[in-house]
Structure 1
Amino acid sequence: MARIGYARVSTIDQNLDRQLEQLKDTEKIFKEAASGANKERPQLKTLLDFIREGDIVVVTELERLGRNNKDLTFIMNYIQEKGATLEVLNLPTLRGIEDDNLRRLLNNLILEIYKYQAQAERERIKERQAQGIALAKAQGKYTGRKALFTEDDERLKHAFDLYLSGYSDKDVASMTGINERTFRRYRTKYGISR
């Protein structure tokens, strides 16, 4: 049985130190900078592959695992299916309850409430972001995010060549390091099709 930590921030500009301090009593910590809205996170996947029966996955807050109710449910069920348990440090502890069934029931109820809260917060963030963008556009201050690639970008040209030679979007993404959705968006933008 091992206590295994998972720490996540949304961007590389953010700092993991607070979470790492709270997870210092774990034997191993998986850490990454990736959006909680995306379930496809390399370190999360590695953590889920790593855990064994009896292990305890420790996170400082439930939102570190994700902000989407469906994804959180999938991740939590996966942890449970592997015979591991989840410990969320900012949730109330139920150690004083001797009846295992009651403790499990209360723990699951608390986690469901927090999953709902995490998703609601994610939706509020998106709503505030959309409002800010709309306001900036109305004031003529918003020009959108700078494009990652121009049409004559060598890396993008190489990705298009790979695609046109028969590779799938997924293959091109793994070979070039360009995100698969981003590549599809640029293919559409520049009319690249087979």
Structure 2
Amino acid sequence: MDNSQAGTMVGYARVSTHDQNLGLQLDALNEIGSIKIFEEKASGAKTDRPQLGAALDYVRKGDVLVVWRLDRLGRSLADLVRIVSELEARGVGFRSIHESIDTTSSTGKLIFHIFASLAEFERDLIIDRTKAGLAAARERGAKPGRKPSLSSDQIEVVQHLHREGKQIKSIAEMFGVSRPTIYRVLESAAQSSVASSSGDAHAQLR
């Protein structure tokens, strides 16, 4: 890829649970000419990733957000597709060095369309498994809906369905939880987004 035509390279690096050293990622990002790198020192197992929020706020139309590997950006396939889709909507490219994926090229865009289809398939599987589990619980005489917690994958599906306009009541019934539980999940996600945006305000402006 011709970097001169791709816009500014902005790097994002995040430690993993097993590897707390950013050295390899930083070397790779510097080697391709990243002019600014945002370093996430926490593993990102939780939703709070302030440096990612700062990086997403920093990039402008024509820029390219670069990571060493795909798993440094997204916690799941659905999360990865969501972030890259938001970048694409803003005219920002995405590049993963390890997988040689570059959405500023036609091939890279095709790959991400495939990823998006897989993410939708994954969401459908989660919903189907949830429904099957609830049906099995009812057959055993259990009372689904008492447990207020949802898995991280299920929470992402809840957010996706809500963004698509699905009613809270329908989502709650689908996952066998109460409507207040769904409201809490969405409120928690909104608060995390606000906290991330607040941190972005301190990022360097261009």
Instruction: Compute the TM-score of the two structures, normalised by the length of structure 2.
Output: 0.46
Q: Which has the higher helix share?
A: 2
Instruction: Compute the TM-score of the two structures, normalised by the length of structure 1.
Output: 0.49
Larger-gyration structure (1/2): 1
